[in-house]
Amino acid sequence: MTIFWERCSICGRYITTRQCTLHPEVSVCIHCCLSCVERSSCPKPVWEIKIAKPVKPIAKLEDKKKIMEELLSKLDSKSIQK
């Protein structure tokens, strides 16, 4: 179990907090920072969520067809052997 000694100045939860950029006297948790009304005017929000791009490129339609044909031909050759 994790014990947090920091308390959010907005919601009062004992959770990991950071010092607000717009209001330095306020410590905010991720939930309060993301739901802040002033977030659109904030120069550098202390909590940010970034969505990672997929690492593997998506195969093209021709590649998918080629792979499917190869797999089907392997299945056909195994069924003929039996």
Domain spans, the chain: 18-81
Give me the residues paired with residue 14 across strands: 7
Token match 């969520």: residue? 49
Q: Quick check: pTM over 0.75?
A: no
Determine the distance from the C-alpha atom of residue 17 to the mean position of all C-alpha atoms in its chain, rounded to a whole number. 19
DSSP state at residue 23: -
pLDDT per residue rounded down to tens, the chain (82 residues): 566 678 999 999 999 999 999 999 999 999 999 999 999 999 999 988 888 877 776 667 788 888 889 988 888 776 666 5
